[in-house]
Structure 1
């Protein structure tokens, strides 16, 4: 009798254990997920979208911005901007003499405030909000709000505004733990399109692309904001997020600024190697991606390159440079490398597959935009999920697709949010979605939405 009871008890425990494993879900605590790889590792995800699109779990009103959401431990974090009314004379021009003729470079003083919001993951209700005055000095056409996705680490969330205001808040009540001001503390001259590099937690440090003399990258103590080390000087800090990879048997912090791609020891900021690759207009936006001992980078105006790192990790050289015939020169998105093949959205919305070995283009398509010609500033974010991909185009659509060296195959698509930002005569959304809890979280300049993507 006792043996029978013990057997039943063990069976119940086993079933409970298996059930908890089955329903366990992943968080998305920072830019591009857990390890910045752009991989969504959850199972139990829909094979295709149902007629009429996936179920909307909730939506919440927010202000404008590019900041993508992060999701951690039942909370959703996102940044936005609230605009203050302009005076009778309008926004103040910030140029000496006549402003540039190209609106993509016209800077103005724009009053307003920035915020970090913490929402309940279950229903989108506001748990707490912190706001600070922040007049923008960036290019007016793109000065809609913060660029950076909040980074969550245990009980702390780190946010970084477009004018260099760095905050660490308690995730539970929003209490400020510490803050830094890149302009006051490091003499940062705000780049044309604002501070954009997502902070990275590494061991006991918060690694930030800052700017200024000998402070292109700074390591802060993640607990109190104290500067631990600073390194590198550059004309501009660029917009590229820091990322740590193992290369040549060493952990290497990759920083791509206006003048070069450089690899540092994340422990003390010492430089392992430097390769001179200058992004056009300092637009190093796309995160460097690594496969084996190779690093791939891409930027605006046909700039792309594959860098080969030595076996001991102490030096590097350019394996090949991209041009009109090879490589992918994407602007706002980050490539994905799978089995020696690069997948990314290039200029004009050209979604492309190229070989990492030599940059040869295997195919190019405009299918994510349902067209057969270029689209101004067309962008697609790529997230790998198992053996398929979730693509987020800038029209507010999510596409499930198969990407292989043999070609692009679309499985399903659904429009999940309206594009609200006008660029080059069309409306778009340039915010990277988050994928967690078998759901997608995405925003525009008016609201943030959460859709259920679980398999029924």
Structure 2
């Protein structure tokens, strides 16, 4: 049990460093949605607009398929892809085509794009939308933790790719693979790895980071879902938040003991978006108006429901996690298919805009998507849309103002009868790192052109 106090200290120090570090220093993007998983980019010195001809490209390198975004630490970029050797690519929601191939964890030089090392292992796919891995690598203290689409949870040495340990979730826990594969980006601390598994008393499972030994298993769920676990400090208590296909729950991160549970069942088991917090408000969102705002208690780990979404209110997200700032929620509503701004207080929609999603569209677009990142030093937003366009914009309660767009990659996947790309970028070293199923691209964001 001696490891758990250090776990708490590590998270506290991490949060303190994120608050105190000067934005003039380079900011690693060591995991999905950034260092604190809040979708905020804190590095200064980026361009205040995107010119008509686009921003400079630092480099492009070929990769294979995958939805997993890149992670960046120092001068290294980490990415997963899938090298298919047999099987037909069928991209429909209910099909599970059989594929043979190799998942790869790859490390690149951030300056040149040259590959530094690769860890490759055979894995056969039987999931819907089988382009490749879903979960972004998490890199902490020289350890890379990855989760493959068929449930291979792996810890590697970040400097050379040597394997520390590997656990296959379906085999180890007799867990079923979700139809769209394992996708919940693992949460990594100084001592633990927490991921979603699914099943009786094992919705979430914690592993020793050094050995892969199971530390605890907690609560029951119909399957793993797709939402990553996250940490918050509320009610004088550190809480581990999970959202599985049946409910949102708060756990003691040291033991897995439940603090509170709030039922929320999204259609098709699509618990995807991470619950997002501002102050004492916690927003949880899923498709088909399955969204709610909770209020975190100040004196204990508990919540009160403030409101539920209704048609044409709030934001029902599908494949992206919204960003919350200054009492406003910015996200892509899956029925509109547009970027929507809504109020934290009551879910009232203030405006919507299709430009960052699909500029030529002005009508409802099923599951239209853009990944949103707030640039803290400028207050502007970077949006990466499903057609491969990167947009810089100002977004306030008054509306949306574009500061330029550029085509970075071509959409290489197919969904709802159109070409899309569903991969969250990384922002670090005054660079946007963006991938599709063919290439990884480094875009120069610096203001000194």
Shared fold (TM-score, shorter chain, > 0.5): yes
Instruction: Indicate if the aligned counterparts of 2:52 and 2:404 stay in contact, CA closer than 8 A.
Output: no
Confirm whether residue 366 of structure 1 aligns to residue 367 of structure 2: no
The answer to whether residue 274 in structure 2 is matched with residue 284 in structure 1 is no
Superposition deviation, residue 267 in structure 1: 1.1
Residue pairs, 1:156-175, within 5 angstroms: 156-175=143-162
Q: Deviations over 1:340-386 (max 9, x none)?
A: 11111111322111111111111122232223212232101110003
CA distance in structure 1 between the aligned counterparts of 2:70 and 2:301, rounded to whole angstroms:
36
Q: Distance in 2 between matches of 1:312 and 1:63?
A: 49
Q: Distance in 2 between matches of 1:278 and 1:413?
A: 36
- Give the alignment of 1:47-446 within 5 angstroms: 47-86=48-87, 103-139=92-128, 142-347=129-334, 348-368=336-356, 369-370=358-359, 371-386=361-376, 387-446=379-438
Deviation at 1:316, TM superposition (A): 1.9
Report if aligned partners of 1:68, 1:148 keep a CA contact under 8 Å in 2: yes
8 Å CA contact retained: 2:24, 2:44: no
Aligned to 1:3: none
Q: CA deviation at 1:326?
A: 1.5
CA distance in 2, matches of 1:376, 1:304: 17
Q: Structure 1, unaligned stretches of length 5 or more?
A: 1-20, 94-101
Q: 1:362 to 1:22 in 2, by over 3 A?
A: closer
Shift of 1:213: 2.2
Superposition CA RMSD, Å: 1.6
TM (normalized to structure 1)? 0.90
Q: CA deviation at 1:393?
A: 0.6
Q: CA deviation at 1:312?
A: 2.4
1:135-188 residue CA offsets vs partner (Å, 9 max, x unmatched): 11212xx11100000000121101110000011111111110111110111111
Q: Are the counterparts in 2 of residues 81 and 113 from structure 1 also a CA contact under 8 Å? A: yes
Structure 1 pair 23/388, CA: closer, same or farther in 2 (3 Å)?
closer
Distance 1:246 1:385 in 2: 23
TM-aligned CA deviation for residue 314 of structure 1: 3.0
Tell me whether 1:34 sits opposite 2:35 in the alignment: yes
Check conservation: 1:272, 1:313, Cα contact below 8 A.
no
In 2, Cα distance between equivalents of 1:286 and 1:116? 24
CA-CA distance at 1:315 after TM superposition: 2.4
Give the 3-state SS of the residue equivalent to 2:345 in structure 1. coil
**Residues 239 and 251 of structure 2 are in contact (CA less than 8 Å); yes or no, is this contact kept in structure 1?**
yes
SS of corresponding position for 2:260: strand
**Cα distance in 2 between the residues matched to 1:444 and 1:360:** 34
- CA shift at 1:108, angstroms? 3.0
Q: Secondary structure at the match of 1:104?
A: coil
- Distance in 2, matches of 1:192 and 1:24, equals 41
User: For residues 174 and 59 of structure 2, what CA distance do their matches in structure 1 show?
Assistant: 42
Instruction: State the distance in 1 between where 2:156 and 2:179 align.
Output: 27
CA distance in 2, matches of 1:41, 1:311: 28
Q: Is the 8 A contact 1:248 1:293 kept in 2?
A: no
Deviation at 1:302, TM superposition (A): 2.0
* Residue number in structure 2 paired with 1:9: none
Give deviations 1:30-55, integer Å, cap 9, x for gaps. 00000001111011100112331111
